[in-house]
């Protein structure tokens, strides 16, 4: 059975102290209103800044339902890349996931399809799971080219994987026009793209593999709209930015699965 996931991408927010406090607050909220699904069905993922990864792992160690993700990694395992963070470094904190190909990385750091394919490979090589982001800008959707673009993003950076490696990947569809804008994709728009992505996976890896793949939606998910989005057949949860920084709201999002 494919897992549902509520993931919080904190982006470049929270100091170490603020971050550990936020995790403590979210866990307190979840104790008061525990998730309806168990760890076999649903996971909660926090993606704090690198400096908070180790503390996040330690604070959540007793909770098998909570996993920790890095927001990025370098393509190489080590070397003269001042200021960068490698997958072995991330792994050494206890984090188990890495967000790869976020639209902010693609836009501000010129991350190419080829670079993202390398990041996916190095992440899998070390036994971590990529949360691979894809999604179109508004002008692409207006030209009705969004399906082609998402297909290209997924084919270029993921479809070199064999079926076993692909089974470790989580996909996040994040239309750029919905990120941080307060304009969420409608449940129908999200479902349409998620079904398209699942069909692509079925064509490449077969229907059982497609049915097992977790596909998250990201872009202005909040405590009010999460349940409607998560109710869609092919939407397996969310990758949440702004609302994941509010302990109460994120706990509500975690409890928005039916
Ligand atoms: P917002 O939820 O703030 O729109 O951000 C979405 C996102 O980019 C998650 O990765």
* pLDDT tens sequence across 206-249: 999 999 999 999 999 999 999 999 999 999 999 999 999 999 99
Question: Which protein residue's CA is at the shortest distance from atom 7 of ligand 1?
Answer: 241
Q: Could you tell me the pTM of the whole model? A: 0.98
Question: Which residue's structure tokens are 């993700």?
Answer: 69
221 lines ligand 1 (CB under 6 A): yes
240 lines ligand 1 (CB under 6 A): yes
30-39, 43-52, 162-171, 211-220: segment of lowest average pLDDT? 30-39
Mean pLDDT over 251-256 rounds to 97
Residue 250 CA to residue 26 CA, distance in Å, equals 7
β-partners of residue 68 are 46
State the chain's mean pLDDT as an integer.
97
Residues belonging to the chain = 258
State which ligand 1 atom lies nearest to the alpha carbon of 244.
2
The two structure tokens encoding residue 166: 């692909």
Please check whether residue 73 is in contact with residue 83, taking contact to mean a CB–CB distance below 8 angstroms. no
CA-CA-CA-CA torsion sign (180, 182, 188, 189) = negative
Residue 80 CA to residue 219 CA, distance in Å, equals 35
Probe residue for ligand 1, chosen from 49, 136, 174, 237 as the CB with the greatest number of ligand atoms within 8 Å: 174
Could you read off the pLDDT of 126-135 as tens digits, one per residue? 999 999 999 9
Mean pLDDT over 97-121 rounds to 98
- Collapse the DSSP code of 81 into the 3-class scheme (helix H, G, I; strand E, B; otherwise coil) and give the result: coil
Going by C-alpha positions, the residue among 96, 95, 75, 94 that lies closest to residue 85 is 75
| pLDDT for the residue 1 | 81
Mean pLDDT over 153-163 rounds to 98
State which ligand 1 atom lies nearest to the alpha carbon of 243.
2
pLDDT-based confidence at residue 5 (cuts at 50, 70, 90): very high
Domains and CATH numbers, the chain: 4-254 (3.20.20.70)
| pLDDT for the residue 34 | 92
Please check whether residue 50 is in contact with residue 37, taking contact to mean a CB–CB distance below 8 angstroms. no
User: Tell me, what DSSP letter sits at residue 167?
Assistant: T
Residue 132 CA to residue 212 CA, distance in Å, equals 15
Question: Known catalytic residues?
Answer: 102, 174
Secondary-structure percent of the chain, ordered helix, strand, coil, rounded to 5: 45, 15, 40
More confident residue, 258 or 218: 218
Please check whether residue 98 is in contact with residue 90, taking contact to mean a CB–CB distance below 8 angstroms. yes
Residue 36 CA to residue 70 CA, distance in Å, equals 26
């Amino acid at each position: 059975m494919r897992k549902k996931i509520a993931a919080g991408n904190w982006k470049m927010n929270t100091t170490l102290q603020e971050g550990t406090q936020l995790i403590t607050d979210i866990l307190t909220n979840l104790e008061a209103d525990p998730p309806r699904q168990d760890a076999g069905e649903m996971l909660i993922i926090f993606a704090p800044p690198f400096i908070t990864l180790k503390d996040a792992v330690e604070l959540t160690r007793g909770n098998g339902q909570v996993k920790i993700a890095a927001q990025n990694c370098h393509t190489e395992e080590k070397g003269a890349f001042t200021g960068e963070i490698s997958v072995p470094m991330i792994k050494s904190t206890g984090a188990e996931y890495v967000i790869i190909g976020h639209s902010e990385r693609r836009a501000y750091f010129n991350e190419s399809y080829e670079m993202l394919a390398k990041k996916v490979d190095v992440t899998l090589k070390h036994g971590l799971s990529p949360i691979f982001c894809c999604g179109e800008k508004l002008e692409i959707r207006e030209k009705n080219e969004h399906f082609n673009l998402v297909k290209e993003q997924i084919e270029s950076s993921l479809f070199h994987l064999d079926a076993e490696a692909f089974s470790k990947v989580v996909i996040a569809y994040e239309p750029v026009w919905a990120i941080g804008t307060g304009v969420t994709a409608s449940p129908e728009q999200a479902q349409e793209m998620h079904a398209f992505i699942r069909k692509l996976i079925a064509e490449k890896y077969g229907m059982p593999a497609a049915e097992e793949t977790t596909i998250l939606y990201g872009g202005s998910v909040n405590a009010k709209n999460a349940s409607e989005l998560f109710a869609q057949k092919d939407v397996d949860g969310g990758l949440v930015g702004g609302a994941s920084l509010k302990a109460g709201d994120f706990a509500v999002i975690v409890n928005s699965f039916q």
